[in-house]
Amino acid sequence: MGIKYVSYTKVVLIIFLFIINPGFGHDPNKKLPANKIFEKFNLPTVDESTPIGFYAKGCLSGGVKLKDTGPTWQIMRPSRNRNWGHPTVISYAKDLSKSANQIGWKGLYIGDIAAPRGGPMPYGHQSHQTGLDIDIWLTAPKSLKLTKKERDTIKAISVRKKNLKEVNNNWTLAHAKILRAAASDNRVDRIFINAPAKIWMCENMEGSKKWLQKIRPLWGHHSHFHVRLKCPKDSIECIKQIPTVSQISKSSTGCDESLYWWVSKALEPQDPKKKKPALRKKKGARDYIMDDLPKMCLDVIHSK
């Protein structure tokens, strides 16, 4: 009778621990995708905030939540629960939204930052795993009092023409000024946006353009721009991105031939007669298991 009682108690305890902490039930022998583990967490750990690993292969300890709605911002797609990050990115978001307000917008619509404990996501991004990435919508807010349902369904505007070579009529000088404010912040490592937007800024912005070096062209970023912050100085577990933007750029601004490649050579149709080299499939974020992530991420999924 006593043996059955002890056994029953243990089972109840295990079930309880799994409910409050899904990581407790992690079985390394099952080789589950890491994103299936991280997606179960609705809350962060209670540890000190620490970005662990690389932006596209890591996790976040002690995540801080950016409130759904603030005086100069609103979180978009709130049902995703991806408005968690390192304190640096939370303060950056608030500061940039104030700058946007001073430039003439009501504020900012803010997209994904990271999940409560960071880590690989079940869909969407390859990065956004350490709480140091943040997406900013290129849609000028008409209201900062949208309901959660409205924010889950509203469509972001695109600032790029269908020819992929130019910005469209949605693009304004205010966009460029907000991006200048975003890149001029010393906390920023680099910012990703579509090539036509950067080309417009290279050709039309006045004054010093050194801030443009941080603006990097990348496919897909025509309805939002993606800000990546530097590893905080005291975060020894955070892996910096290399090469640096200055090493990538062929000039102090990045407004060189490498930029125009995106709207010229890159868009040329491939020769059907030319054989493509056989490429080995690269393991992506949704293929990672816990063994692929930094060891400290095990502590993150097993912590309260």
> Does 21 fall in a domain?
no
User: What is the DSSP code string of 13-61?
Assistant: HHHHHHHH-GGGG--GGG--BHHHHHTT-SS--SS--EEEEETTEEEEE
CATH, residue 85: 3.30.1380.10
> Does 293 fall in a domain?
yes
> Does 24 fall in a domain?
no
Q: How many CB atoms lie within 10 A of CB 32?
A: 13
Structure tokens at 281: 């499939």
> Does 102 fall in a domain?
yes
Structure tokens at 18: 């799994």
Q: What is the pLDDT of residue 15?
A: 43
Cα 258 from Cα 183, distance rounded (Å)? 19
Q: What is the pLDDT of residue 14?
A: 39
> Does 280 fall in a domain?
no
Q: What is the pLDDT of residue 235?
A: 94
> Does 50 fall in a domain?
yes
Regarding pTM above 0.75, the answer is: yes
C-alpha triplet 61, 227, 75: angle, nearest 5°: 75
Total domains present in the chain: 1
H helices present in the chain, as ranges? 2-20, 34-38, 87-103, 148-153, 173-184, 195-204, 245-248, 257-260, 296-302
Structure tokens at 64: 């801080």
Low-confidence stretches of the chain (pLDDT < 70) are 1-30, 276-279
Q: What is the pLDDT of residue 284?
A: 86
Closest listed residue to residue 301, CA positions, set 32, 72, 3: 32
> Does 162 fall in a domain?
yes
Orientation of helix 195-204 relative to helix 173-184, angle to 10°: 90
* DSSP structural state of residue 167: B
Residue 179 near residue 217, CB atoms below 8 Å: no
The whole domain housing 237 covers 31-266+286-302
> Does 147 fall in a domain?
yes
Cα 162 from Cα 149, distance rounded (Å)? 29
